[in-house]
Chain A
Amino acid sequence: MNTKLLFAGSARMMMRYKMRTFFMAIGIVVGVTALVFMRAMGVGAEQAMMDTVNKTFSTATINLVAGGGHMGPRAGGPVTSLRVADFDAIENQIDGVVITGAMQWLPSEDIRYQGNTRQMSIYGYTDQTEAVWLRGVEYGEYFTSEDIESASRVAVIGQRAAEALFGDEDPIGKQIQAGSVPLRIKGVLELQGIDTHGADKDDEIHVPVTTLMRRLMNVDHVFAGRVIIDDPDNVENVGEEIKLLMRERHSLNEGEPDDVVVITPNLVQDIVSNANRVLGRYLPAAAGVALLVAAIVIANIMLIAVKERVPEIGIRKAVGAESGQINFQFLTETVVIALTSGLFGIGIGMIAAVAFGNLSDVPMIVTPGSLALGLGAAVLVGIFAGVMPARQASAMDPVNALR
């Protein structure tokens, strides 16, 4: 077979039957554009979320939360077994631990300053917050170890909270009232924004963890805490050691469930990236559906095109074309159209994604993998849409085709 001549002929037919070619192409272009665009959106969202996670949970960080189940307050009442002393034990007894910090939390308390009252979360931290939780003061100063030891009545305040309570006044040195406890403001916290749970980290108050336990909540346990280790590759091992140590210190028998959840960065990343994978997959799945619809449309147009071309098939067979050669021709035509439209599709999709990313603050990331996916999908659609009509065309008897 003279393939060059066949291809030249096919190319001419596509040029001469422009509408037919156009309709076959347009479906794929739209589908692939959508696929590339949505995948850029999905990958962008995943990356953005991973960035946030990595900022919040540095890779050498292990978080501890009191309770046997999930992060956050438990349904079965608070677990009271996690103590500040547990963190000291972790720091002293486990190799590779650099520093620890316990944390207690009072979800909501009335904070008063002169005539102003505002409901806020109060967090109890140690003097190591800057090292452990990576947050220091913008100005003023944080708690000292003496503040922790003596459970001093001092606080540092988030910037939004400060504005709300003090307006233009300088908060440093001012006396506020948390419930019935007077607190003196020592510093103003660095801006942090909204956290992954949706809480405004600039609308909160920090007090020494001891002050919160003894003076405000009247408890002797903490809610959570954090352990910083020296080697990120070791998080899983250290995590296991912490679990064992906690069981030992809390005198848990074999078979009893853990009373402390040990959250390693890998675990967090797994959870988050799972959530993102759902996002990153459903968006392209929607585009995939568009592409499938396009494929059905293309297959139908091809079938109509084949019917239109029945006499052509008859002629070709009459002058010596074999079924396989007819099949090859039709399949090649669809794949060429699909590939060309696919290239247009990834081009338009890429430009649209980048433009959209620049014009809005939606993070859009176009990866070579997404482009390959788009092109692959286009070719698959071409084959899917081309196979059936090609079969039908090639199976035709020449006399019937010519009648």
Chain B
Amino acid sequence: MKKMIYLDNAATTRTAPEVVEAMLPYFTEYYGNASSIYEFGAKSKEAITKARETIANALGARDNEIYFTAGGSEADNWAIKATAEAYRDKGNHIITSKIEHHAVLHTCQYLEKNGFEVTYLDVDEQGMVKLEQLKAAIRPTTILITIMLANNEIGTIEPVAEIGKIAKEHGILFHTDAVQAFGQVPINVDEMNIDMLSASGHKLNGPKGIGFLYIRKGVKIRSFIHGGAQERKRRAGTENVTGIVGMGKAVELALSTMEERAARERELRDYLMSRILKEVPFSRVNGPRENRLPNNASFCFQFIEGESLLIMLDMGGICGSSGSACTSGSLDPSHVLLAIGLPHEIAHGSLRLTLGADTTKEDIDVTVEAVKKIVAKLREMSPLYEDFMKKNAKK
């Protein structure tokens, strides 16, 4: 079999071997329930405490502010729904952006059906939230601002510190979905005035199905899963000890390698973006050049459709993703690409390539060559391209 080139690290990542190794003893050796009295159970408890400390340190938080969840989606749901419920007396207005992950958007839409009002802020052509529009959207009834730290499709890093400052000045809670950003860019919850933050293990070489919600001390937030007294009675359920240990290890690794890894990925990514722009006609980069996740490259190729491109890349052993309608299960292309102002037909031709620590320059070269060939082949098939060429020939 041909070597696989995995360029979909925003979808999920390979669990690092060190992470698996750290997890293994907690399956077969230290399998005790962390809530048990006996010494054996305490082993599990210790491991959870250690992971919690690692994560708290990574964010400049305290360990009693970290609550483990079953992933990023749960953390987003919890943060938004439970805040809405707890602060209902104060108001019913929530501010978010048009480019959030569906875990945030669909939760907000759900609340709208239950008497809440939600403002979905526009973004500029780079995907950046406009601070003036945010300020103007604030009402006396606003209880929550939830805006992602970095976008999963086009890599835009939002001005979270400024947003946090605005929220604080107005006495509004600020939640940020940091699922893509955590472990990629430095985050400090105090400096950025973040009250709640969601993250997920599988995006940073940790296991799937584990994540956490950071909740600043003093934030009134109800439990989301009712039951036992785990996670300071706020998130019931026997702890996912192996997952938590894996997540802790993954965070430790991600934080200790962040600077070096980001520099390397940024260089490879910039090389990828400049080659594509130079060598594939009628192509564009989505999202900003600066203020961008180091591993994210997002493109649109005019006259072609993203799913066809992905299948052909897959035939060459290359894994990528697209925001085309055909890959989303609906007829509309990605809400993010539409929000940055791309017309439908261009948004259909999108390709996202997200690098990882294992990505090599050779991988990028192979990928660029494949993209060039495939785009040319699909254009040869495309009636849109035919029309365009004929129109140009007439001019």
Q: Judge: A and B partners, yes or no.
A: no
Which residue numbers of A lie inside 8 Å of B, CB to CB?
none
Chain B interface (Cβ < 8 Å from any Cβ of A): none
